[in-house]
Amino acid sequence: MKICSKCKEEKGVGEFHKAKTNKDELKGQCRQCYNKHYKQYRIALKKTIFDHYGFCACCEESNLYFLTIDHINNNGAEHKRSIGRPHQGGTGMYYWIIKNNFPSDLQSLCYNCNCAKHHSGLGFCPHELDKQSNSSVPQTPQPTKNSFHHPSMYPTSSSPIAYL
Ligand SMILES: [Zn+2]
Ligand SMILES: [Zn+2]
Ligand SMILES: [Zn+2]
């Protein structure tokens, strides 16, 4: 048995994550406390990212839980390989973004738009088609909070990432 440094409850060793660097090879906090802490940390990290990148560049979805980071030039897999931590996924990636000062070839997309972009075979979200068919009527461009991140602002040909 071991007492959790956070909730002060005595719990079986199975309730603690392993930590090779600690004397008893267990983390000081129980799994429950650790997971809770980690989740809060993840959310804080995510909030920082999307405070910068804003709403979904396609449909303006603003709920943090729906938002993901997308590579405007569709080189996500390549990029993940080049930063050398493909297994770390989300948090590692968010970390990397902050460390690299929010690279401008990334944008926020909601899960829907992101999936649709990659699975439609179009290279962009099918929402764009709806937008195009509605734009036969000439419109004055309305600057939105998010207009800077709109995909059409960027070249469509994929260029190598310059900042790496
Ligand atoms: Zn605990
Ligand atoms: Zn969206
Ligand atoms: Zn969309």
Give tens-digit pLDDT for 19-43: 999 999 999 999 999 999 999 998 9
pLDDT value at position 89? 55
The CA-atom distances, in angstroms, between 100 and each of 83, 110, 136 are 11, 22, 40
Q: What is the pTM of this model?
A: 0.62
Determine the distance separating the centroid of ligand 2 and the alpha carbon of 111, expressed in angstroms: 7
Determine the distance separating the centroid of ligand 3 and the alpha carbon of 63, expressed in angstroms: 14
Determine the distance separating the centroid of ligand 3 and the alpha carbon of 127, expressed in angstroms: 4
The bound ligand whose nearest atom lies closest to the alpha carbon of 2 is 1
pLDDT in tens, 79-107: 655 554 444 456 788 989 999 999 999 99
What is the distance between the alpha carbons of residues 157 and 89, in angstroms, rounded to a whole number? 25
Determine the distance separating the centroid of ligand 1 and the alpha carbon of 24, expressed in angstroms: 16
